[in-house]
């Protein structure tokens, strides 16, 4: 049994319809308490990996352990202890922020009293208390992203998986979200975070892994990666050196 909160061994996944092998033996380990940046170009296999570990897809082969437990035999336990913030705003736009949080919280099995107090806490934290009874459809992009994030952290997960949580929002909203992620991490929440924003990853992540062609091509702390690549002075230049400058337009 591994000490890692997430341990992926030799994970493969192909899409026969597309004649495409997306993951080609991915090995990835997220230790407890870290913010792991999972970076890679479009089509590298990030979202496929996230979909497999969140239970939306089945891998072809390989092993996954979460919280020290084999994935397939402990799905229910894992779902209770994992939080997912997908790239899309995956909430019900016709419901209010409060109703969304209440329904998702109840699905996690949270008790009414604890749920209400947690919802208030999060609404306060993200500055949305005055908007709690407004429909999410009427929110700005940043506010929607905040609700999207709140749903993922509502039940205080041990591992939070974020798939590009700050894409398409203004700087102010991005700052609020990143600050809250750091606070969560300080509270003990481990984070697996995918992004295309290298600057954001460099400042937020304690460790990053760069995936290309369905497997990790580099893994270290941001400073360790920069130091290991001569002539690179930031994570973006390391990333470009490792993944190339060729245009990728294939979503995975």
Partner 1 sequence: MKRLINLIYKDFLLLVRDKAGLVFLFVMPLVLVLVMTGMQEGALESATKNSISLIVLDSDKDEIGLTVEKELQEKDMFDVKIADASMTEAEVQNLVRKGTYLIGVYIPENTTAKIQGNVQKSIAAAFAGLPASVTEGKMDTVSIKVFLDPTINSTFRTTLMSYLREASNQIENEYMFAKISEEVNERAMLPMGEFSLSAAQPVGIEEITYSNHDDAKANFDAAAHNVPAWTLFAIFFIVISLSGSIIKEREDGSFARLMTMPCPYSLYLLSKVIVYVAVCLAQFLVVMLMGKWLFPLIGLPVFDMHGTFFYCLIVVFCAALAAIGFGLLISTFATTHQQAAIFGAVSVVILSAIGGIWVPTFLMPKFLKALSMISPLNWGIEAFYGLILRGGSFVSVLPQCLLLLAFAAVCFVISLLAQGKKSF
Question: Which of 71, 239 has the CB closer to partner 1?
Answer: 71
- Classify residue 63 as left (phi > 0), alpha (psi -120 to 50) or beta: beta
Task: Report in angstroms how near the CB of residue 34 gets to partner 1 at its nearest.
Answer: 21
Question: Which of 94, 170 has the CB closer to partner 1?
Answer: 94
- Per CB under 8 A, the segment of 75-83, 187-195, 196-204, 233-241 that binds partner 1 is 75-83
Of 27, 90, 125, 167, the one binding partner 1 (CB under 8 A) is 90
Which value, in Å, is the radius of gyration of the alpha carbons in the chain?
18
The whole-angstrom separation of Cα 228 and Cα 112 is: 51
Of 22, 82, 128, 189, the one binding partner 1 (CB under 8 A) is 82
Task: Report in angstroms how near the CB of residue 95 gets to partner 1 at its nearest.
Answer: 6
The whole-angstrom separation of Cα 67 and Cα 27 is: 16
Instruction: Quote the longest CA-to-CA distance of the chain.
Output: 55
Q: Does 57 participate in binding partner 1 (rule CB under 8 A)?
A: yes
Q: Does 99 participate in binding partner 1 (rule CB under 8 A)?
A: yes
Q: Does 232 participate in binding partner 1 (rule CB under 8 A)?
A: no
Please provide residue 84's backbone torsions phi and psi, each rounded to the nearest 5 degrees.
Answer: -120, 130
The whole-angstrom separation of Cα 172 and Cα 174 is: 5
Task: Report in angstroms how near the CB of residue 96 gets to partner 1 at its nearest.
Answer: 9
Question: Which of 19, 76 has the CB closer to partner 1?
Answer: 76
Nearest to 86 by CA among 125, 28, 46: 46
Q: Does 240 participate in binding partner 1 (rule CB under 8 A)?
A: no
Q: Are 46 and 251 in contact (CB under 8 A)?
A: no
The whole-angstrom separation of Cα 22 and Cα 213 is: 7
CB-based contacts of 2, cutoff 8 Å, min separation 6? 29, 65, 68
10-29: contacts with partner 1 (CB under 8 A) = none
Question: Which of 58, 186 has the CB closer to partner 1?
Answer: 58
Q: Are 101 and 146 in contact (CB under 8 A)?
A: no
Question: Which of 106, 228 has the CB closer to partner 1?
Answer: 106
Question: Which of 108, 232 has the CB closer to partner 1?
Answer: 108
135: which DSSP letter?
Answer: B
- Per CB under 8 A, the segment of 10-18, 38-46, 80-88, 215-223 that binds partner 1 is 80-88
Question: Which of 41, 59 has the CB closer to partner 1?
Answer: 59
Q: Are 196 and 164 in contact (CB under 8 A)?
A: yes
Q: Does 76 participate in binding partner 1 (rule CB under 8 A)?
A: yes
Binding site for partner 1 (CB under 8 A): 54-58, 76, 79-80, 82, 84, 86, 88-95, 99, 102-104, 106-109, 151
């Amino acid at each position: 049994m591994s000490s890692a909160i997430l341990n992926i061994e030799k994970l493969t996944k192909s899409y026969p319809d597309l004649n495409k092998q997306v993951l080609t033996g991915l090995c990835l380990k997220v230790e407890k308490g870290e913010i792991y940046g999972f970076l890679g170009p479009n089509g590298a296999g990030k979202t496929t990996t996230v979909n497999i570990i969140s239970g939306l897809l089945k891998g072809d082969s390989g092993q996954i352990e979460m919280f020290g437990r084999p994935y397939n035999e402990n799905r229910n336990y894992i779902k209770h202890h994992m939080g997912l913030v997908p790239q899309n705003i995956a909430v019900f736009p016709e419901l209010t922020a409060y109703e969304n949080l209440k329904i998702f919280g109840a699905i996690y099995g949270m008790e009414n009293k604890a749920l209400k107090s947690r919802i208030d806490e999060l609404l306060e934290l993200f500055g949305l208390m005055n908007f709690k009874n407004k429909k999410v459809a009427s929110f700005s992009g940043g506010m929607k992203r905040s609700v999207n994030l709140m749903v993922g952290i509502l039940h205080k997960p041990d591992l939070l998986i974020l798939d590009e949580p700050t894409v398409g929002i203004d700087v102010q909203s991005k700052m609020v979200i990143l600050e809250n992620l750091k606070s969560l991490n300080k509270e003990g929440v481990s984070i697996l975070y995918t992004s295309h924003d290298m600057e954001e990853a460099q400042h937020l992540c304690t460790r990053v892994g760069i995936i290309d062609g369905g497997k990790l091509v580099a893994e270290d702390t941001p400073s360790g990666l920069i130091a290991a690549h001569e002539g690179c002075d930031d994570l973006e230049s390391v990333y470009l050196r490792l993944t190339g400058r060729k245009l990728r337009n294939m979503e995975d």
